[in-house]
Amino acid sequence: MIEIKNLKKRYGERTVLDIPSLSIADGETLALAGANGSGKTTLLKILGGIIKTSEGSFTSSERILYMPQNSYAFRGDLIRNILIGGADRSKALGLLEKFELSHLAEKKAKSLSGGELQRLSLCRVLSKECNLLLLDEPTSACDAQGAELVIKAIKDYRESCGCTVIMSTHSPLLAVNAADRLIILNSGKIEADGSPEEILANPWTQWAKSFAAGWKI
Ligand SMILES: Nc1ncnc2c1ncn2[C@@H]1O[C@H](COP(=O)(O)OP(=O)(O)OP(=O)(O)O)[C@@H](O)[C@H]1O
Ligand SMILES: [Mg+2]
């Protein structure tokens, strides 16, 4: 269980995240939505221990895996890029197959397209086990087929290791198909919290209603 209490993040005078109270159960898959600058990445980075809070506290998890919003490649081919994370070769090859990247396995990772690179980043992250998986917009660069692969891979991974998943997204498809819970952030505050279907059908506030209107799939 992750328990957040009175969490605030400020940059100078500006408060970019303000969450009085939030509990996330073990094994839950939570999607974080909200406009650009609403605080999604900030919350993921705080939970991942990458940046500090300005105020408040949260309970941390033992083994955390974090995929940043901007995918990156190390030198060398795709296999090396996954092995760098500590996986064995057969696991790396299995993941490349799962993400339909096998035909590129021995190509330079730095030459990949944006969507291919994002899938490679996921291979690297999902090559390890964890208790808490933090994914910052895991389908942002993917086409429809790529997004489906990612959704399936996230679900399979959660089933196999039982971890908690928190992912930010601008994709209703990802939230509805992969998450049991959706939180919408508005200027750093929780504007809505519930099952994706519930929130999209009955938004809590006028603001959430207009957000949800743009989220119909
Ligand atoms: N290091 C920093 N210094 C100052 N302001 C920052 C810093 N990092 C983030 N911010 C501000 O905090 C706010 C929240 O940023 P965050 O990256 O969490 O947004 P986001 O919801 O992930 O947006 P996006 O959908 O564009 O990825 C933004 O207004 C951003 O400008
Ligand atoms: Mg972000």
- Predicted confidence at residue 215, as pLDDT, reads 73
Average pLDDT of the segment spanning 25-54: 97
Task: Tell me what pLDDT residue 184 has.
Answer: 93
CA 189 to ligand 2 center in whole angstroms: 15
- The structure's pTM equals 0.95
Mutate which of 9, 11, 13, 51 for ligand 1? The one with the most ligand atoms within 8 Å of its CB, which is: 11
Using 50, 70 and 90 to split pLDDT, how confident is the model at 216?
A: low
Q: Which ligand is nearest to the CA of 11?
A: 1
pLDDT at 166 (0 to 100):
98
CA distance 103 to 64: 30
Mean pLDDT (the chain) is 94
pLDDT value, residue 86: 83
Q: How far is the CA of 141 from the centre of ligand 2 (A)?
A: 13
Lowest-confidence segment of 98-107, 138-147, 168-177, 206-215 by average pLDDT = 206-215
128 CB burial (10 A radius; 0-12, 13-18, 19+):
middle
Per-residue confidence (pLDDT) for residue 217, from 0 to 100: 61
The whole-number pLDDT of residue 61 equals: 84
Domains and CATH numbers, the chain: 2-72+129-213 (3.40.50.300)
- Residue among 176, 170, 174 at smallest CA distance from 197: 176
SS3 per residue for 171-217 = CHHHHHHHCCEEEEEECCEEEEEECHHHHHHCCCCHHHHHHHHCCCC
Calculate mean pLDDT across residues 34-61: 96
To test ligand 1's pocket by mutation, which of 40, 140, 211 has the most ligand atoms within 8 angstroms of CB?
40
Atom index in ligand 1 nearest the CA of residue 185 equals: 21
**Ligand 1, CB cutoff 6 Å, lining residues:** 11, 16, 34, 36-42, 69
pLDDT per residue over 52-81, tens digit each? 999 999 998 889 999 999 999 999 999 999
